[in-house]
Amino acid sequence: MWPAKAIVATIGNAEAVSSLMAGLAPCGRLVLLDADKDPLPVSAGHLVVAERSVLGSITGTPCENERALDFSVLTGGRTQSRRCRSRSQPCQKMKSGDARFRKSCL
């Protein structure tokens, strides 16, 4: 599976997140959904030489995220991943109204 085109980090541990950079493919993206008070130690070489990037995204307040996780546990929600035959496949399903949940393809 490695190297990955994208990694979505949901943990707030700067050291653990930093270790993920080595698993990114050239032009890969590391998306942070949680923050740590400690600085994120990232090698400039990992970013510059292979044109990798680090992005941050807020997905809701901590309270909203906890409520969403609690709801997922109560309703038996599960993640599902499967290999896409083409990059446009998930978008086509959403546009046609055939998707029953949010889809993404990395």
Radius of gyration of the chain (CA): 16
Q: Residues near 75 by Cβ (< 8 Å), separated by ≥ 6? A: none
For residue 8, the one-letter residue type is: V
- State pTM to two decimals: 0.54
Interatomic CA distance for residues 66 and 19, integer angstroms: 26
**Mean residue pLDDT across the chain:** 79
Provide the percentage of residues in the chain whose pLDDT is more than 70: 74
Per-residue pLDDT, 83? 67
Report the range out of 24-28, 34-38, 55-59, 89-93 with the highest average pLDDT.
24-28
Query: For 53-100, what is each residue's pLDDT tens digit?
Result: 999 887 777 787 788 878 888 888 776 666 667 667 766 766 676 655
